[in-house]
Chain A
């Protein structure tokens, strides 16, 4: 039985206020977790999964969440009895606390710090790509987690940027085609990286590293928040092992990279040609909803980016004015006025600081959240597309079956026993025969539909939480800066009026 992990808050670990989970239901309340069946085993890719699914009896599949609570009660006892301690915890699935209600207070809170700049440079000289980042991971209540690997409470590993990309690409290939929304990794940036490599110690390259660090942190947090993904061995290896094999396939011009591009192009073409008969209004509605959301978020993101740019400009100009006013104050020969001008200069300088801080908040809170969600929604849309592909496969199988049946019938009439046998084999006996394929296609389609429903539900909840948290934080930042502006002017006013 897997204990669920509480989603670590986005950003600081200290801000527990944002975990109120306003919708009332906590997906990961203790009761729910005891009802969890064994972790979802994504069908083809993970080899280990196969063992578990067969040994677990009837339902080898999903993590059943709140909608199926009734069933889960019944299931739970079943599962518990099946879980035998001697079963190899291939997925690190320690069943020991299964019977006692497990409070999933285990937190996996990855925090990422970039390596010191000098060391960074060293690495860069050797390798072709990537900064190195330190990931500090803290797991609270490790005894209560079922993942035995997290033995220590806090530990730290070093990872390169390409490692993150490698992780994402593995997860995507394993999970996306069966309907899981895999969080997208941050993008490569040739310009940014070249600057860093060249060793420019200017503020813009420091900014770039910070931007990247923050993006990677959010990426990792989202990934481990996902209950299925956290169970994945690749994720666990990423979090834990001291060394990872180089992820070569993430390089843009590698064979794998080119293959990916070709696949993407093929997908795009296919998408246009698939005309799906949507029987489920829910999907249609959701797709439309995500389309609208996508549009609006992109628009908002562009506007916020402009704001960030202008606010930075404002900060620069305010600083320049402050200096100029100070000089003017110096050259003014009326002493009181000279003092007043110097004060003005001071105030403006402080205000410039505030503008900078505000710009920082604008960006890291607001703009980055929006860009994250723009990419996440692309992933969601991708998952919907996968469903369409699955449907298409099913339809294709059905069409093929139809053809084979017709051929069989014809052969029957034509009375060609050996060919007839062959045809029959193809349809029924072969593994998988066409009948089997059709069945599989239907199952797959139903499965992915179900998974998507859950994933979307989860995604929406996370989205609401994220946005709420960021909005509140952003408002906090605004309040802070506004208060300070008022204070500065008040103080200078007091001084002025003494004059």
Chain B
């Protein structure tokens, strides 16, 4: 099972560190080798390398858009065969709106900025845009890679089509009726979910699932909250970093205007702010990657796990109903055979689902712990690195400020 991948370390190029688990299976390797952002859509180039017999070629590429990913995800969801599997969460829609708006505002902008300030702001915003772009690529890629790694899901026919079929899948976006239908479905689902999870009549035969249910319900809420707060914190960090730009610029102007002893101090301070800006910017983006993205992913993944539990609960309800029907039939001695068959079917379905779900949930935990551990350690390492850079820069600046003071007192 693939962990959440950590796709870029640093801002240079697309260096990735793909976590490969123990069952390294290279028989089907999927990656997004290229992506192009056009006006309002992104085109991903999905590149597959495989030695599986089913495929016509060993290496091939297709171009896919976001809607086609969603279509693929939905087909998995709707497939009864996969009811006992945690379906990897669909990647979020690429959203460059905010970033584009900011760039636009900057362009229309503000005559009050100096040329350097403007250039720096532009650079910041472009970097932000690029980061969002990279992230959306990563999310889509992770989705595909999890599918490719899963022993059952990878064999899905639609998946093959998705990877191989070099024409447009003509997956139209959901029309209004479908969206509304989907919306209704969600309401019904969550109502059912609530009903089922609270129904005491439903005998939870398995301690394992009982525990998992309690755990997942709470965990999902908490991780959602943390994801939100982490986002806000990251955003604030970015704001502070951006604030350093006009400060540094104004200090520079003051330093050059000034003919007195403090001109050098101003310039040194301006330099420091510039250095700090870069560091703070990196801290913010690292926090975003290691923390916010991680939390966000597990918010979605834990939702998928919850969905699995719900499906199992529904199957259990069906099974219970079938039992009741069978009892009634036996009492009335009518349609007993039919009822028996039905009950058997339900029982089998339920047990198969339960077994699969158990394994899936265990895997989920392993995956989750590994991902958190990896990201937390990396985050700490990065924060340490940045803290050193910051400390050094401020230390030096202070040193040179003292130095100029001493120098001037000799003058």
Contacts and interface: CB of A to CB of B under 8 A. Distances in A.
Prevailing SS type, chain B contact patch? helix
A327 B225 contact: yes
A2 B368 CA distance: 78
A462 B300 CA distance: 60
B106 interface: no
A293 B225 CA distance: 47
A421 interface: no
Contact of A300 (B223, B236, B250): B250
A466 to B, nearest CB: 9
A314 B112 CA distance: 26
Of the four ranges (under 10, 10 to 19, 20 to 34, 35 or more), the interface on chain B belongs to: 35 or more
A464 interface: yes
A293 B233 contact: no
A340 B372 contact: yes
Interface stretch (B67-75, B131-139, B180-188, B256-264): B256-264
B294 to A, nearest CB: 11
A250 to B, nearest CB: 34
B112 to A, nearest CB: 8
A241 interface: no
B304 interface: no
Interface in B109-147: 112
A310 B388 CA distance: 23
Contact of A324 (B222, B388, B408): B222
Contacts of B408: 22-23
Interface string A331-364: 1111011001100100000000000000000000
Given A471-B269, A489-B380, A296 B253 contact: yes
A328 B384 contact: no
B96 interface: no
A366 to B, nearest CB: 9
Given A489-B383, A496-B376, A468 B409 contact: no
A24 to B, nearest CB: 6
Interface in B350-406: 365, 368-369, 372-373, 376-377, 380-381, 383-384, 387-388, 390-391, 394-395, 397-398, 401-402, 405
B35 interface: no
B405 A299 contact: no
Given A20-B409, A475-B401, A303 B243 contact: yes
A409 B409 CA distance: 63
A476 B398 contact: yes
A23 B254 contact: no
Contacts of B112: 299
A324 B372 CA distance: 16
Contacts of B409: 20-24
A330 B226 CA distance: 12
A484 B234 CA distance: 20
Contact of B387 (A320, A460, A476, A489): A489
Interface of A: 20-24, 289, 292-293, 296-297, 299-300, 303-304, 306-307, 310-311, 313-314, 317-318, 320-321, 323-325, 327-328, 330-334, 336-337, 340-341, 344, 460, 463-464, 467-468, 471-472, 474-476, 478-479, 482-483, 485-486, 489-490, 492-493, 496-497, 499
Given A22-B409, A303-B250, A333-B365, 10 more contacts: A21-B409, A23-B411, A24-B409, A321-B229, A328-B225, A337-B368, A472-B402, A475-B398, A486-B391, A492-B380
Please give me the 8 A-B residue pairs with the lowest Cβ-Cβ distance, nearest first.
A486-B387, A314-B236, A22-B408, A475-B398, A300-B250, A321-B229, A22-B409, A307-B243
